Chains A and B, each alone.
Chain A
Amino acid sequence: MSEKKLAIIATKGSLDWAYPPFILASTAAALGYEVQVFFTFYGLQLLRKKLDLKLTSLGNPGMPMPMPMPVLLQALPGMQSMMSMMMKNKMKSKGVASIDELRSLCIEADVKMIACQMTVDLFEFSNNEFIDGIEFGGAATFLGFAGETDICLFV
């Protein structure tokens, strides 16, 4: 069986949007795919040593809420942290893996992770804020691999 390839561009840095790239990357690796994920803009948050991902209901009318709540209330200080904590607890109770866990599984499975050098510079991150074992590159680096893939996704 020839090895299939998957490339993903991860551009979001929130708790909810961290799931699609890591779930697909880890599962594809388990299925024998060669996988590369290119992290750019807010997606760089997913590569930080200490993950502190949050989610927001603001501008997201699709998020199921435990109780109806006016948008202005959702914007109050502390609400974002509280909702993020509630979501993390709910995920744990449902047996959903944490992002830390999925990321570790990706690393274990040799998923290649590339941080976009341009946005690292733009946001003035230093390379030692990121986990070990990642590479730094640009659009051409990504396209070199993406051009040979069976599946290529933008998240």
Chain B
Amino acid sequence: MASFDQELDASGLNCPLPILRAKKSLSAMASGQVLHIIATDPGAVKDFEAFAKQTGNQLMESREEGGKFHFMMKKA
């Protein structure tokens, strides 16, 4: 797994909370820093793709592991 600067555990949260929490975390980070997001909402997979596309932040990684979804988001 690539390295990251900050971690956000959004396990158990449902749409749209993982996106909203991620946005909040990213706002406090510097450009180029990476946020590792953990979620259990299966809808988050498509949602983080759309989030990245719309906001310009880069979704470097999106994978499932042990029933959880992991995302690496690099702040634009």
Contact = CB atoms under 8 A, between A and B. Distances in A.
Interface of A: 1, 4, 23, 26-27, 30-32, 94-97, 105
Interface string B11-51: 01111110110110000000000000000110000000011
A56 B1 CA distance: 48
B12 A30 contact: no
- Chain A, interface SS category: loop
Contacts, number: 36
A96 B43 CA distance: 13
A3 B12 CA distance: 31
Interface in B33-75: 40-41, 50-51, 54-56
Contact of B14 (A26, A27, A95): A95
Interface of B: 12-17, 19-20, 22-23, 40-41, 50-51, 54-56
B17 A30 contact: no
Nearest to A93: B12
B16 A27 contact: yes
Contacts of B19: 27, 30-31
A148 B19 CA distance: 26
